[in-house]
Amino acid sequence: MKCKAGISNIFTLVKRAYIELHIAVLLYGLTAVLGEMLSLSALPLVWWRVGLASLCFIPLVWLARRKRLAPPKSTYFALAGIGCIIALHWITFYGAIKLANASVALICFASTSLLTSLIEPVLLKKRFDWLDVGLGALVIPGMLLIIGVVDTKYHSGIAVGMLSALLAAIFSTLNKRYVSQVQPVDMSAIQMASAFAFLSIGYPLLKKFDMGAPAFWPIASDWPILAVFVLGCTVLAYLLNTRSLRQLSAFSANLAISLEPVYGIILAAIILKQYEVLRPEFYLGSLLLFAAVMAHPILSRRRKRKLTVKQPEA
């Protein structure tokens, strides 16, 4: 009976983690739309994003001080390094938006789950899970169905977008390694602060690779968008995503995040009037993405139950 109660409690925590994760994914989908609406190019956009987010995390870190864990100093250095990877991921993601558009950047991001299924076993030293690889591969036909209607002039944006997806697979897998050692709010704060420091120090060099207008300061109409961008799509979304990793694998999280293109493209159509990808291929591709995301927790739960039944009672 205790075993069954324990399993039920675990499934409840996992369910809550999925709900939090999907709220984060919806907010992530909005970032591409907001990024296209802002006048800033990729580098200053990310600099303002992580800088303002770092300030927002200060009161949250203070409020969470009583729950703070005490990991070794090496963990903090590792989290700071991951923050630098996050900064590069966001630069390439918004670079893809500026080189192409929000829809193209989101489509490329769908490959993150497959990349994670290959990277996670290597970085976390675990066995390859062929269920993860198979479901991650199922995302690719959906992505190709949608990307097939994208104009060839966006190929450079697609290349940068794929690099962004690779960086996302790396940092989310590394976050999984440390999420049990540090409170999610502390992890998020450290990574935002290190991303801000990395971009501030490397700004002159990174600026040479930045595409778009040279403006550094947001214009008046940018500030309300930045407020939503930072508070909702960065601070809240990143906290929810990090919290979910306590119950979910990096692959499970990134598979769910594969729905970001669907949410983002729909939002782009509603807000930016980008209807060009809303064709039959988009809906079929979206259906495949949803099928992969929905199938993973169901198949994983069945596999765990079979393993539990096979184990002899204590």
Residues 6+ apart with CB under 8 A from 212: 40, 41, 42, 98
pLDDT for 62 equals 86
Percent of the chain past pLDDT 70, that is, above it, reads: 83
Task: Give pLDDT tens digits for 251-274.
Answer: 888 778 777 777 877 887 788 776
Q: Please give the structure tokens belonging to residue 159.
A: 């290349």
pLDDT for 2 equals 47
Q: Which residue bears the tokens 């990808």?
A: 277
pLDDT for 78 equals 93
Name the least confident of 8-22, 182-196, 246-260.
8-22
CA distance linking residue 148 with residue 134, whole number of Å: 22
Query: CA torsion, points 182, 183, 185, 189, in degrees to nearest 10?
Result: -20
Task: Give pLDDT tens digits for 134-149.
Answer: 777 777 777 777 666 5
pTM of structure:
0.79
Spell 181-201 as b/e; 16+ CB within 10 A means b.
bbbbbbbbbbbbbbbbbbbee
Q: Please give the structure tokens belonging to residue 138.
A: 């199922």
pLDDT for 200 equals 93
Q: Which residue bears the tokens 């729905």?
A: 259
Q: Please give the structure tokens belonging to residue 172.
A: 């989310």
Q: Please give the structure tokens belonging to residue 178.
A: 């440390």
